[in-house]
């Protein structure tokens, strides 16, 4: 089935919030490859928590489209430590941005959601129609609920004002260019770093949070960027759309894959005193293929190999921790 480009990117000016982040850099590059002119101011230059900042920026630069990736994010530890600031920041940034897009008549708006918005006990694979059938997993519920509210805002604005807004929900991302901070990063870079450092320091074991039994699905960051840009150019519906691979893996099996790629030969010790988070996480990815012809091309083994190679170089460049 053909999915024509309904929002032509060639020569268009697109504002990408969060465009200097892990995912944002890839989205900016993909948009530029498609011939768009991209605006990606840093948060130090444009504070989206200022209610008037987005409208000022739009009036000054007149973009045709906006891709909202900026978010206050982190792993389980960061979400547990900062539930209030995570809720406020994600709600406020999106709320004022979508309103500014409406008021300034932006032609098309894409808002990125989060898999954390799904109910804690959701039928697997997660289908977009299940989004409202329960409360999210407690440790990241404030972040998830704030993001889900932005979907409601987009749908309400489409109904009342005709705002052309779409909402995409990516699964857990990984890949080269992720940040290296163990206190705030996600599971794949955290595991890679732990194994590489344990190997380099001659440790006989690595301790990992939780039981290892939960499953997760992981999407290579370059694939996510391509999916976002395809959605911006080809999708026009009000329904949320998952972005993922449709394949899940337990944390224990993921750890074993990364252990083999890093060459660490010691023992894995799971510590059940730490929370596991959501029990299973796997997306139904059929809607993205049906609505705008996208599916993820990179398998987990290839993506992990490229990510480990990148992190080995990045940690070597960073020097001793």
State the burial class of residue 149 (Cβ atoms within 10 Å of its Cβ: 0-12, 13-18, 19+).
middle
Distance CA 91, CA 89 (A): 6
**Cβ atoms within 10 A of the Cβ of 300, count?**
18
**Residue 143 is among the residues annotated as catalytic for this protein:** yes
Alpha helices by DSSP H, the chain: 22-33, 53-61, 76-81, 83-103, 141-161, 187-201, 221-234, 251-262, 286-292, 300-318
H, E, C per residue of 108-131: EEEEECCHHHCECCCCCCECHHHC
Active-site annotation holder among 118, 143, 157, 174: 143
Contacts of 272 (CB under 8 A, 6+ apart): 210, 211
In the chain, DSSP finds a helix count (H) and a strand count (E) of 10, 12
Residues tagged active-site: 143
């Amino acid at each position: 089935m053909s999915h024509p480009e309904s929002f032509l990117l060639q020569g268009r000016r697109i504002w990408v919030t969060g465009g200097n982040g892990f995912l944002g850099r890839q989205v900016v590059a993909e948009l530029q490859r498609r011939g768009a002119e991209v605006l990606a101011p840093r948060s130090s230059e444009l504070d989206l928590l200022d209610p008037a900042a987005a409208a000022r920026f739009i009036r000054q630069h007149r973009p045709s489209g906006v891709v909202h990736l900026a978010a206050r994010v982190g792993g389980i530890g960061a979400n547990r430590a900062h539930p209030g600031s995570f809720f406020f920041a994600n709600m406020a940034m999106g709320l004022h941005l979508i309103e500014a897009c409406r008021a300034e008549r932006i032609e098309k708006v894409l808002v990125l959601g989060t898999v954390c918005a799904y109910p804690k006990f959701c039928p697997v694979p997660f289908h977009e129609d299940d989004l409202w059938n329960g409360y999210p997993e407690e440790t990241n519920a404030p972040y998830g609920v704030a993001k889900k509210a932005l979907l409601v805002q987009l749908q309400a604005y489409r109904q009342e004002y005709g705002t052309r807004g779409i909402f995409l929900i990516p699964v857990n991302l990984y890949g080269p260019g992720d940040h290296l901070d163990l206190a705030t990063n996600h599971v794949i870079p955290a595991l890679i770093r732990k194994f590489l450092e344990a190997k380099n320091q001659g440790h006989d074991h690595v301790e990992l949070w939780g039981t290892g039994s939960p499953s997760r699905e992981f999407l290579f960051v370059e694939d996510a960027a391509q999916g976002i840009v395809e959605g911006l150019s080809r999708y026009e519906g009000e329904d949320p759309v998952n972005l993922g691979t449709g394949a899940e893996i337990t944390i224990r099996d993921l750890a074993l894959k990364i252990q083999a790629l890093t060459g660490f030969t010691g023992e894995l010790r799971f510590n059940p005193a730490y929370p596991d988070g959501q029990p299973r996480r796997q997306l139904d990815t059929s809607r993205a293929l049906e609505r705008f012809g996208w599916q993820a091309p990179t398998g987990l083994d290839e993506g992990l190999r490229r990510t480990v190679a990148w992190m080995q170089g990045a940690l070597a460049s960073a020097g001793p921790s």
